[in-house]
Amino acid sequence: MDLSFLYVRVVTTFVECLTDAKDAFALHAPVGKRKNGAEY
């Protein structure tokens, strides 16, 4: 049970990091790239 909780915790943190990185990239990307990546 502890391992399951730890696994979920790690995955959640990893997803949050990916989302932050994606948002930071979209923020600094040129307008054209932002339009191309709108579906993400």
What local confidence, expressed as pLDDT, does residue 8 receive?
93
Q: Is 23 exposed, middle or buried (0-12, 13-18, 19+ CB in 10 A)?
A: exposed
The Cα–Cα gap between 17 and 19 comes to: 5
What local confidence, expressed as pLDDT, does residue 37 receive?
54
1 Cα distance to chain centroid:
27
Q: Where are the alpha helices (DSSP H) in 1-40?
A: 2-28, 31-36
Q: What is the pLDDT of residues 10-40, one digit of tens each?
A: 999 999 988 888 877 777 666 555 555 554 4
pTM of the model: 0.50
Tokens of 28: 């600094």
Termini Cα distance of the chain: 34
What pLDDT band is residue 2 in, cutting at 50, 70 and 90?
A: confident
